[in-house]
Amino acid sequence: MLKTSRIEAKFEELKQKNEGALIGYLTLGDPGIATSEKLIKCLVESVDILELGIPFTDPIADGPTIQAAIDRALRAGMNTDIAFETVRKLRRGGIKTPFVFMTYYNIVLQYGEERFVKRCGEAGVDGLIVCDLPVEESKSLLEHCEKHGTDFIFLIAPTTNEERLKKILPSASGFIYLVSLLGTTGAREKLQKAAIEKTKWALRYTQKKLPLAVGFGISKKEHVRGIISAGAQGVVVGSAFVSLIAEKKGEACEELRKLARELKEGTKI
């Protein structure tokens, strides 16, 4: 990309402050469309980057907590057009936090690849994660992202080997998202040693190319500190925030802020 993206600028800003990025996740439309917008406004104050999930009827990468959020959002009537409009309204309200859409390829395909990415640029979406799209099948979508200034963020798994990672890196932008555990998303009590080891392994290849953010199973300040201390430039926290919304619904605002502030402390090494 010719100009510095909002995501790239955020990682650079945090690097100067010796901090990692706290990347939050919420499902758009959960628990309702208007309430979701309000809760996004609460959380963007305390995270560095915010992933927004566009609900999909078959979310294979998501665990029970986020699947339940997706069900609530779909029942509330959330769809792709409303997702774009929500971000556009947030940007018009002055929010500068980088936004990343996280979704599945069927959503993009149904909407039309170029139309989807063009609307990302128009609305103010900075990056795109398509959970189920392998690098081998991403060429045309990558070209649209390049054209419209949208970072394309790839997932890598605990099973990703050197050959595979080297294939992904030239196509990726924004950051690399390391899925630290096998299985679906969800909060865990303890940070597994394997997550630290995989983080250190991935950094050997990503260090001079793109920031590395680690997600899946991270829900506590000590988890965050462990990942950032291992050298990662960011952590992704989703289920812990989504659980608060499931419990508190529209009253989750202060709880979201409190958790985000606590987790953010773990990024300061």
Residue pair 26/40 in contact (Cβ under 8 Å)? The answer is yes
How far is residue 37 from each of residues 32, 61, 125, 186, measured CA to CA in Å?
Answer: 9, 24, 15, 23
Integer Cα distance of 225 and 126 in angstroms: 26
Integer Cα distance of 179 and 84 in angstroms: 26
With CA atoms as reference, report the closest residue to 78 among 103, 55, 62: 55
User: Which residues have a catalytic role annotated?
Assistant: 51, 62
